[in-house]
Structure 1
Amino acid sequence: MSDSIQIQVADSHLYPGCAVQIPHLPETESAAAAVVEFADGSGANATCHRRAFDELELMVERYATQKRHPVDTRHWLLFAVDASHHSWRVKRRLP
């Protein structure tokens, strides 16, 4: 998956207000494969796409944290916090 978008999360899971780094995000609005790397060393596959210029939908597949806590598949809305669109925050969980 070398063409996947790399996403770094500042914690072991996502939640509203959580900081997210995306060094390179394509401009396209179509869905793209992503690999999410959590701060505890765990990871998950995901799918993301831009909802608007400063909003991103992220569907993270089921994974387990390093402490083996299972986290179910979840759908999140993120918003950009800088003009370069490298720094994002989780706005809310989507249904």
Structure 2
Amino acid sequence: MSNSIQIQVADSHLYPGCAVRIAHLPEPARGAAAVVEFADGSGANATCHRRALDELELMVDRYATQKRHPVDTRHWLLLAVDATHHSWRVKRRLP
């Protein structure tokens, strides 16, 4: 998955308000494979889709934290917090 988007999360899981870093975004209106790296060293596969210039949908596959806490597949809405679109925050969980 060398063409995957790399997403770095500032915690061991995602939640509203959580900080996220994304170096390279997917093209608008196209989905892209992603690899999510959590602060505790755990990781998950994901897909992301830009809804608008400052909005990103992120569907994270099931994974386990380093403390072996299982986290089910979840769908999130992220909002950009800077003009470079490298820093994001989780806005809310999507159905």
TM-score normalised over the length of structure 2: 0.98
Tell me which residue corresponds to 2:87: 87
Unmatched 5+ stretches in structure 1:
none
Cα separation, 2, equivalents of 1:51 and 1:28: 7
How many equivalent residue pairs? 95
Cα separation, 2, equivalents of 1:12 and 1:38: 5
Which deviates more, 70-79 or 25-34? 25-34
Unmatched 5+ stretches in structure 2:
none
Cα separation, 1, equivalents of 2:46 and 2:26: 15
Matched position secondary structure for 2:66: coil
CA RMSD of aligned residues (A): 0.6
- In the TM superposition, 1:20-31 aligns within 5 A as 20-31=20-31
Tell me which residue corresponds to 1:4: 4
Cα separation, 2, equivalents of 1:19 and 1:29: 23
Identity over aligned residues, as a percent? 88
Cα separation, 2, equivalents of 1:78 and 1:7: 12
The C-alpha deviation readout for 1:29-57, integer Å capped at 9, x for no partner, is 21100000000000000000101110000
Matched position secondary structure for 2:88: strand
Per the TM alignment, residue 24 of structure 1 is displaced from its structure 2 partner at its CA by 1.1
Matched position secondary structure for 2:56: strand
Contact 2:16–2:92, Cα closer than 8 Å, also in 1: yes
Cα separation, 1, equivalents of 2:18 and 2:70: 19
Cα separation, 1, equivalents of 2:76 and 2:39: 18
Per the TM alignment, residue 25 of structure 1 is displaced from its structure 2 partner at its CA by 1.0
Contact 2:28–2:53, Cα closer than 8 Å, also in 1: no
Matched position secondary structure for 2:13: coil
TM-score normalised over the length of structure 1: 0.98
Tell me which residue corresponds to 1:59: 59
